[in-house]
Structure 1
Amino acid sequence: MPSTPPTQHDLWNGPAGDAWVQAQSLLDGMFAGFVSVLADPVDPAAHVLDVGCGTGALCLAIASRLGPDGRCGGVDISAPMIDVARERARSAGQSIDFTVADAEQHAFAPASLDRIVSRFGVMFFNDPVQAFANLRRALRSGGSLHAIAWRGPADNPFMTTAERVAAPLLTLPARAEGGPGQFAFADADKVRGILKDAGWKDIQITQLDVECSIPADQLPTYVSLLGPVGQALRAADLAPADRTRILQTVVDAFAPFVQGDNVVFNAACWSIRAV
């Protein structure tokens, strides 16, 4: 019988969460271009929540822009990532409220926030209508949402290169059709319907393209840790030589994205705003 796929809680408190912790600095650099998109401008007195905050990079950026009356918080289902986020905030001398919780279910203080932001954190809800209704109740009247989500796989060849090349070589975890996952918000009309059903107004969904990069010498780390291929490589019972061969085959497939010492790609996303 086929095994039951892991829940989002199990995934992000297990292999996926551990991988993102290990790749924290790589991911921070890769997605640095999204920080200004979500953190600027910010009212210095605003109360802001980052949904799916991960290891805290966006929270740290927002907190540094707030004044003494402002407040920043982050929520994530992954305890390992929140542990890192808390340590980073302590090291930076920032007072940030980090919570390990599922934003779909968590009892946020009603009407306590001015703004909710998210960088790739809203595509993983089991019931997105319930999740966005829950988040809406946490906002004050006139409060705003700004989330970034991936467009479709065809728009993001970098993000699917490893899977395409590794598919004949490894047993990859299947992407759940219509369920939570990286490309769950690829259909803008579907996202607009989710937000409308959850009670949001003035919904604006626009294309956002951001150039991202990582050092070329970090590409093997990226492939071996992240996404379905990283998950499969960690789980597979492979001889060291076979593992090395597969990893090199996948890394070589990223040659079209290599520019000198860097791997450069376009992140094709949706900018999702609502009030």
Structure 2
Amino acid sequence: MAHPQTDLPPAQTDSDFVQFWNEVLGPKFNRFRHILTGGLTHHSEAVFPKLPVRPGDAVVDVGCGWGDTAMKLARIVGPEGSVTGIDCCDMFLETAQAELAETDLDNVTFLRGDAEVALPEGAFDFAFARFGTMFFANPVAGLRNMRRALRPGGRMVHIVWRDPADNPWLSMAKEVVLRFLPPPGADARTCGPGPFSMADEATTRKMMEIAGYEDITFERIDAPVLVGRNIEDAIAFQLAIGPAGEVFREAGAEAEAKRPQIEAALTEAINRQRREADGIVMPSSSWMISARTPAD
């Protein structure tokens, strides 16, 4: 099977969000990759057997990160299929390219692009995104571009976090940090709407309908996630990434002055969590959202 035409439009000036991912979040995510990919294996194990992907499919992986899901999808579609991984973060793509070179796969292509700006149109049978669409500053535009990237009758699945109450691994630390620091101001630099922006089923369903999808279904996935190999690792992760990390980062000097108190409070909270062989584990919950494009 010939690989689909996957040209992206000429590069445009990066948005503030894309600049923030490259300048601030990329290095932080690289540091905690063992949590952000390895720690989410329970979700992947629950979701991948259910994906409507067939041998020979042309697939786009939006927000592909370090490329692990793109390469996993490439094994499913086989040599007659192809996978195009797209991400806006240069650091992630460099790692993806390096790790792809160590495999026997020749049906994977990684591209630098912003799904909110444009994707190749009408080129794919299946679109996938793992914990990426939640960060769309304009979710309808991003979801619409994913739909336009699909052929008539094409299928898509994206995985997003459910509400904070079902994800204490993200929400608990923020609650602790806010006991010591003020919430971020309206002018704070962020990675986008954040991990819970698509938690509400009714709101997200409406966005997908506006973006042009049909047969939209939501399936709840509950799974444990690794939050750190030990207490120190878990605290460093929480203060670098996610809702608690945003509060801590934006507080600047005040946060550093109060770091000992904050770390003591986080130690107490994290000590109450479950231990497994590979580290500290907490509950998490996501939506697996599936949909189709119109057949004609």
TM bucket normalised to smaller: 0.7 to 0.9
Contact 1:34/1:210 (8 A) holds in 2: yes
Q: Which residue of 2 aligns with 1:219?
A: 234
What is the distance in 1 between the residues matched to 2:178 and 2:29?
Answer: 22
Question: What is the identity, as a one-letter code, of the residue corresponding to 2:174?
Answer: E
Contact 2:119/2:146 (8 A) holds in 1: no
Query: 1:123: Cα distance to partner?
Result: 1.1
What is the distance in 1 between the residues matched to 2:281 and 2:185?
Answer: 27
Q: Which residue of 1 aligns with 2:217?
A: 204
Query: 1:208: Cα distance to partner?
Result: 1.8
Secondary structure of 1:256's aligned partner: coil
TM-score, length basis structure 1? 0.86
TM-score, length basis structure 2? 0.80
Query: 1:35: Cα distance to partner?
Result: 2.3
Contact 1:44/1:69 (8 A) holds in 2: yes
Structure 1 runs (4+) deviating above 6 angstroms are: 238-241
Query: 1:119: Cα distance to partner?
Result: 1.0
Secondary structure of 1:69's aligned partner: coil
Contact 1:172/1:229 (8 A) holds in 2: no
Within the alignment, does 1:12 sit opposite 2:21 as a pair? yes
Runs of 5+ unmatched residues, structure 2: 1-14
Contact 2:248/2:255 (8 A) holds in 1: no
2:244 to 212, 219, 229: 229
2:193 to 156, 173, 180: 180
RMSD: 2.5
Within the alignment, does 1:77 sit opposite 2:85 as a pair? no
Q: Which residue of 2 aligns with 1:48?
A: 59
1:1-275 correspondence runs (5 A) = 7-40=16-49, 42-95=53-106, 96-108=108-120, 110-173=121-184, 180-217=193-230, 218-231=233-246, 233=248, 236-237=252-253, 242-259=258-275, 262-275=279-292
Query: 1:259: Cα distance to partner?
Result: 2.5
What is the distance in 2 between the residues matched to 1:257 and 1:7?
Answer: 36
Question: What is the identity, as a one-letter code, of the residue corresponding to 2:132?
Answer: G
What is the distance in 1 between the residues matched to 2:115 and 2:124?
Answer: 14
Runs of 5+ unmatched residues, structure 1: 1-5
Query: 1:19: Cα distance to partner?
Result: 0.8
Query: 1:12: Cα distance to partner?
Result: 1.0
